[in-house]
């Protein structure tokens, strides 16, 4: 009887290891990136977008729940971080009067980190932004 419990345990344990190998590998990477990104966020972004990503009415857009933040257009996101934003554009049905400051001094790693933080904090969940993706995007940004 003990033998069958043991077999059952093996089956349960091995299925836990076999399932979703991608998540198991990328989880520590994104955690480390988000931890670094949080520090950048608190230093450079929080003043306008708030600690909880809620922004400020008619001034600064929320990042929590924002379609661009969670979306797949990573080039657009990298451009916003590097260049800032001064044009008055519609964001998820609203307009915001403030301008966003540019961050030309952030490295590719720092940009990936802050994007991983805002894309996976509060209610947001999105794919990892890699350093290679930021590097490639930067070459397309004038
Ligand atoms: C001085 C205030 C300010 C700071 C600091 C700031 N932002 Fe912004 N951000 C804005 C404003 C205002 C907009 C919208 C600009 C517009 O409508 O032209 C914006 C737009 C954005 C957008 C686009 C949102 C969307 O849904 O399309 C992202 C992403 C973003 N900011 C991320 C960041 C990150 C990350 C940082 C820190 C590196 C940061 N912002 C720092 C004010 C700021």
Give pLDDT tens digits along the chain (142 positions): 567 676 655 555 555 555 444 556 678 889 999 999 999 999 999 999 999 999 999 999 999 999 999 999 999 999 999 999 999 999 999 999 999 999 999 999 999 999 999 999 999 999 999 999 999 999 999 8
Centre of ligand 1 from the C-alpha of residue 29, in Å: 25
* Residue 105 CB–ligand 1 contact under 6 Å: no
Residue ranges of domains in the chain, CATH in brackets: 24-139 (1.10.760.10)
Place of tokens 């857009």: 61
Pocket test for ligand 1, best of 42, 43, 46, 48 (most atoms within 8 A of CB): 48
3-state secondary structure of 110: helix
């Amino acid at each position: 009887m003990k033998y069958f419990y043991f077999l059952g345990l093996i089956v349960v344990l091995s299925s836990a290891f076999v399932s979703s190998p991608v998540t198991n590998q990328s989880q520590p990477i994104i955690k480390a990136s988000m931890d670094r990104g949080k520090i950048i966020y608190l230093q450079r972004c929080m003043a306008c977008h708030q600690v909880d990503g809620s922004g400020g009415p008619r001034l600064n857009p929320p990042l929590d729940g924002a379609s661009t933040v969670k979306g797949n257009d990573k080039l657009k996101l990298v451009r916003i971080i590097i260049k800032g934003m001064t044009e008055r554009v519609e964001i998820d049905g609203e307009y915001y009067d403030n301008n966003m400051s540019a961050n030309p001094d952030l490295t590719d790693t720092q940009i990936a980190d802050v994007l991983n933080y805002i894309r996976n904090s509060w209610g947001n969940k999105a794919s990892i932004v890699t350093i290679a993706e930021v590097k490639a995007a930067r070459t397309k940004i004038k």
